[in-house]
């Protein structure tokens, strides 16, 4: 929920036409984790726990363990469900695609990074951004944007927690 909200916020800061798509991409970005939890419960849950404990991003842990990851699986699932190709690509590339080529995917990555910094998310999130926001940082100062995102998530923390409690 925080990633969706922040994705829309960042899209607004960047004056993107695709703020609704960014919101949707933020909402669905980690749907692949739900698939992995559902289909690999005995091996995936321990990975979540070790990722959290060792602060190792889930994306890398998944890739080294399964030779795939939640971004690829999420993109595959949304494609199967006939979601628009741009949304599929934003979800599939939210941990890195062609640098600077997919701005909505970078928006989601930044929103995900900030959300994890604020204490939200499953397992450990992205731990660096320096080479992953080339498209965004052509348009705006990255550190100022991160600061405004952290301020935004703190202002909205109670709403985010409320929605998270409702969804379980
Ligand atoms: Fe992710």
Taking the centre of ligand 1 as the mean of its atom positions, its distance from the CA of residue 144, in whole angstroms, is 23
In whole angstroms, what is the distance from residue 99 CA to residue 116 CA? Answer: 22
Give the pLDDT band of residue 7 (cuts 50, 70, 90).
very high
Taking the centre of ligand 1 as the mean of its atom positions, its distance from the CA of residue 29, in whole angstroms, is 6
CATH number assigned to the domain comprising residue 18: 1.10.3210.10
In whole angstroms, what is the distance from residue 5 CA to residue 122 CA? Answer: 17
- 55: containing domain: 2-167
Give the pLDDT band of residue 12 (cuts 50, 70, 90).
very high
Q: Which residues of 8-34 are buried (b: 16+ CB within 10 A; e: fewer)?
A: bbbbebbebebbebbbbbbbbbbbbbe
- What predicted TM-score, i.e. pTM, was given to this entire model? 0.85
- The number of distinct structural domains making up the chain is 1
pLDDT in tens, 119-162: 887 777 776 665 566 677 777 877 888 889 999 999 988 888 88
In whole angstroms, what is the distance from residue 5 CA to residue 96 CA? Answer: 20
Q: What is the pLDDT of residue 80?
A: 98
In whole angstroms, what is the distance from residue 134 CA to residue 136 CA? Answer: 6
Taking the centre of ligand 1 as the mean of its atom positions, its distance from the CA of residue 141, in whole angstroms, is 23
Taking the centre of ligand 1 as the mean of its atom positions, its distance from the CA of residue 88, in whole angstroms, is 13
Taking the centre of ligand 1 as the mean of its atom positions, its distance from the CA of residue 59, in whole angstroms, is 7
Taking the centre of ligand 1 as the mean of its atom positions, its distance from the CA of residue 124, in whole angstroms, is 10
Which residues make up the environment of ion ligand 1, defined by Cβ < 5 Å? 30
Backbone φ/ψ region at 57: left (φ over 0), alpha (ψ -120 to 50), beta? beta
* H or E stretch at 59: helix 58-66
Residues of the chain above pLDDT 90, percent: 51
pLDDT in tens, 39-64: 998 999 999 998 888 888 889 999 99
């Amino acid at each position: 929920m925080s990633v969706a909200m922040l994705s829309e916020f960042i899209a607004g800061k960047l004056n993107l036409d695709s703020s609704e798509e960014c919101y949707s991409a933020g909402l669905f970005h980690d749907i692949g984790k739900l698939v992995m939890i559902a289909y690999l419960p005995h091996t995936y849950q321990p990975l979540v726990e070790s990722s959290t404990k060792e602060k190792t991003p889930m994306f890398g842990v998944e890739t080294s363990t399964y030779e795939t990851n939640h971004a690829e699986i999420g993109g595959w699932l949304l494609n199967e469900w006939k979601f628009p190709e741009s949304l599929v690509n934003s979800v599939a590339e939210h941990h890195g695609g062609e640098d600077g080529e997919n701005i909505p995917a970078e928006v989601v990555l930044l929103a995900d990074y900030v959300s994890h910094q604020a204490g939200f998310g499953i397992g450990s999130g992205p731990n660096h951004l320096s080479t992953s926001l080339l498209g965004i940082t052509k348009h705006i100062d990255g550190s100022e944007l991160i600061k405004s995102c952290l301020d935004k998530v703190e202002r909205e923390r109670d709403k985010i927690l409320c929605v998270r409690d409702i969804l379980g």
